[in-house]
Amino acid sequence: MSREAENGRSEPNPPVPLSLGGKGGGEPPSLPAPGSGVAGPPAPVGRASWPATWAGQSVGASPPFPPRERGTGGLGRSGLPPAVSPRERGTGGGHSAPLLFALVVVLLAVGPSPAHATSAPPVNLTRAEAAFAAGVEARADAEAARPHFRAAAAGYDAVWAAGFRNPAVGRNRARAHRLAGNLPAALVALHEAVALARYDRGLQVELEDARAAVAYPITGDLVAQCRPEPARTVGARMSAAEAFLLVGGFALAAGLSAARFAMTHTPAWLGAGALAAAALAVLGGLWWQDDRACRDSHPLLVVKDDAVLRRGNAESYPPRLDPKLPRGVEARELTRRGGWVQVELAAGVAGWLPEAVVLPVPRR
């Protein structure tokens, strides 16, 4: 006989075991009737309820847990562990702020980038790919293959103009133009694709290969005057997602080092935080310099036909350089006047070219 029975008190009914669908084998408890005043199980937490949960609001009402009792091992009468108040949890929740910051940085880095393409490929893309495949099949005969590559290039141009843009489409577009015999258009397509993803190593290699295909004269220093150097800025070496990850890592390291120094007063933590802050500042400076270089650059032009670079904006002016500029030479636009455009070559030589012999590279 239990102590409660000896004292004249009746033993309360044992709690109904809750079945979790596992080894317990018990039947699931029935849901309370509407209006009975008994709260049901917590509502499932969906995506729409996440902000309320983060703000500290409870999702779904649940009955309060009874106080702890002796002999129950810390469990209440319901057989479930009692609720723990925020004070009983201790101060461990304060460490969640750096983790939340790191999670936000990772989500920003791996999240969807700004859309450069439509949700579904246009019909022109299928036609362009079919024409390109037909040109590859007829590659043994260049004269027979070029019409197919021209059709593929026109299809890729339409796809790009429609807004379906990514590095793969830009690469195929440039290859179609080049196999069709239009090297200047291939260079323009490559520059547009590189502007979309400057960190793409494959596009950088394609651009340098196309630049090497320009037919410069064997004698003279025209190559040194016209051939541009590859981009070596930070934007050509890492993507924006990688930069976000580095920024988040350096900021987290600096914050944690400062917190540890405040708790332990160890100079080593202060030095580690200073190094992380310095690395963050250097990375920010490099990206600022990269953005400034992109904004301050003059519009890019590609010579589409062999032309003489002259000292003025008329045919009567003498040549600025003796050999003609071959098709495919890149130059920066300085100004326009009377159907002529003043350009600057990679080495700094400036002169005038007719507007009809240059192709502009569209800017983003």
Tell me if 318 sits within 8 A of 358, measured CB to CB. Answer: no
* Pair (202, 279) in one structural domain: no
If one counts the domains in the chain, the total is 3
- The domain of 330 spans 298-364
163: Cβ contacts below 8 Å, ≥ 6 apart = 116, 117, 118
Residue keyed to tokens 């562990």: 81
Q: Does 312 share its domain with 284? A: no
Q: Are residues 174 and 160 in the same domain?
A: yes
Q: Are residues 125 and 208 in the same domain?
A: yes
Could you give the CA distance from residue 237 to residue 286 in angstroms, rounded to a whole number? Answer: 11
- C-alpha–C-alpha distance, residues 312 and 354, integer Å: 10
Q: Are residues 249 and 340 in the same domain?
A: no
Q: Is there a single domain that holds both residue 170 and residue 124?
A: yes
Query: Looking at the structure, do residues 122 and 203 belong to the same domain, yes or no?
Result: yes
Note whether 206 and 184 are same-domain residues: yes
Per-position pLDDT tens, the chain of length 364:
444 444 444 444 554 444 444 444 444 444 455 555 444 444 444 444 444 444 444 444 444 444 444 444 444 444 444 444 444 444 444 444 454 454 444 444 444 334 344 445 677 899 999 999 999 999 899 899 999 999 999 999 999 999 999 999 999 999 999 999 999 999 999 999 998 888 898 999 999 999 999 998 887 788 888 988 887 788 888 888 888 888 889 999 999 999 999 999 999 999 999 999 999 888 888 888 887 777 767 899 999 999 999 999 999 999 998 889 999 999 999 999 999 999 999 999 999 999 999 999 997 6
- Which of 213, 229, 255 is the C-terminal boundary of a domain? 213
Identify the domain boundary among 251, 281, 296: 296
Residue that is last in its domain, among 213, 248, 278: 213
pLDDT at 121 (0 to 100): 65
d(CA 138, CA 144): 6
User: CA-to-CA distance for 56 and 116, rounded, in angstroms?
Assistant: 38
Confirm whether 24 is domain-assigned.
no
Kindly state whether residue 230 falls inside one of the protein's structural domains.
no
Distance CA 288, CA 148 (A): 44
Does 205 share its domain with 271? no
Q: Are residues 286 and 304 in the same domain?
A: no
Distances (CA, A) of 316 to 80, 119, 313, 319: 97, 54, 9, 9
Which pLDDT score is estimated for 103?
46
Residues 205, 259 share a domain: no
Strand order in the sheet with 300-303: 350-354, 340-344, 330-337, 300-303, 358-360
Angle (nearest 5°) at CA 336 between 232 and 182? 60
One domain for residues 257 and 280:
yes
CATH assignment of the domain containing 339: 2.30.30.40
